[in-house]
Amino acid sequence: MSDSEKQDPPHEEHRETAEPNKLDDTELHEVHAQLMREHREPKENFAPMPLFMVFIFAGLSFWGGVYIVQYSGDFDGFVFDETVRPSEAEPAEPVEFDPFRAGERFYRRNCVACHQADGQGVPGTFPPLVDTDWVEGDKERLIKVVLHGLVGPIEVRGNTYDGVMPGFRGSRDRDIAAVLTWIRTNEWNDADEVDEELVVDVRERYAGRTEPWHVDDLGEPSDPVDE
């Protein structure tokens, strides 16, 4: 066969014989679209649990075990008895009031912001409560100050303070006595306790007072207190 015969394109009838099932463009697009619509079958696969989930599960399991041990009552049915009525339960014993501890709590809650945790106050702003006649001196004067407050310049340990101390008339008498006892008898000072009865008496005698005390009304610590 010559080179010219090899390069000649095949006759039309030869094409039809070689491609008897050829598709036109429309049919080809339909087949392609159908293939695109088909997807592979899903396969099962193992996805490992994240490591942090394992730690969380282990921690919850450990906590649950500790909780059951602590609060299961050894799974004793008599630990909880639904037949017991509240009236039949034994009354709880009254909690004994500890003036010293109650006074410390009252001080931490209401006084520490100004007079500080060590009772030394803030120089030039809030007076100290340590080693001063204002605290270790006359009890009634001290109760008046705590009940109704104090305004005006006062001199404490050689320094002048011109602030305003709020009163605590809304507090219970035993709490007033407790905090004053704690301040006077802890390691800061060396004085005796303040009785609740004395607080009640001072409150009743000055029940109509609504304004804070002034140093001129109370007198200096070394002066007698006017009734």
* pLDDT, averaged across the chain: 80
Range with the poorest average pLDDT among 15-29, 42-56, 58-72, 140-154: 15-29
Q: Which of 149, 200, 154 is closest to 174 using CA atoms? A: 200
* Band of residue 33 on the pLDDT scale cut at 50, 70, 90: confident
- Spatial separation of the C-alpha atoms in residues 163 and 154, rounded to whole Å: 9
Residue 95, helix vs strand vs coil: coil
- Residue-wise pLDDT for 91-123, tens only, equals 667 778 888 999 999 999 999 999 999 999 999
What's residue 152's pLDDT? 84
In the chain, where the domains are located:
51-88, 99-218
C-alpha triplet 93, 94, 96: angle, nearest 5°: 125
What is the DSSP secondary structure assignment for residue 73, as one 8-state letter? G
Res 61 pLDDT > 70: yes
Decide yes or no: CATH 1.10.760.10 for domain 99-218.
yes
- Which has more pLDDT, 50 or 211? 211
Average pLDDT over residues 120-139: 93
Res 71 pLDDT > 80: no
What's residue 12's pLDDT? 53
Count other C-beta atoms under 10 Å from residue 8's C-beta. Answer: 9
What's residue 54's pLDDT? 84
Average pLDDT over residues 209-214: 92
What pTM did the predictor assign?
0.57
Chain position carrying tokens 């945790």: 117
What's residue 7's pLDDT? 54
Tokens of 152: 């005006």
What's residue 224's pLDDT? 39
Count other C-beta atoms under 10 Å from residue 100's C-beta. Answer: 12
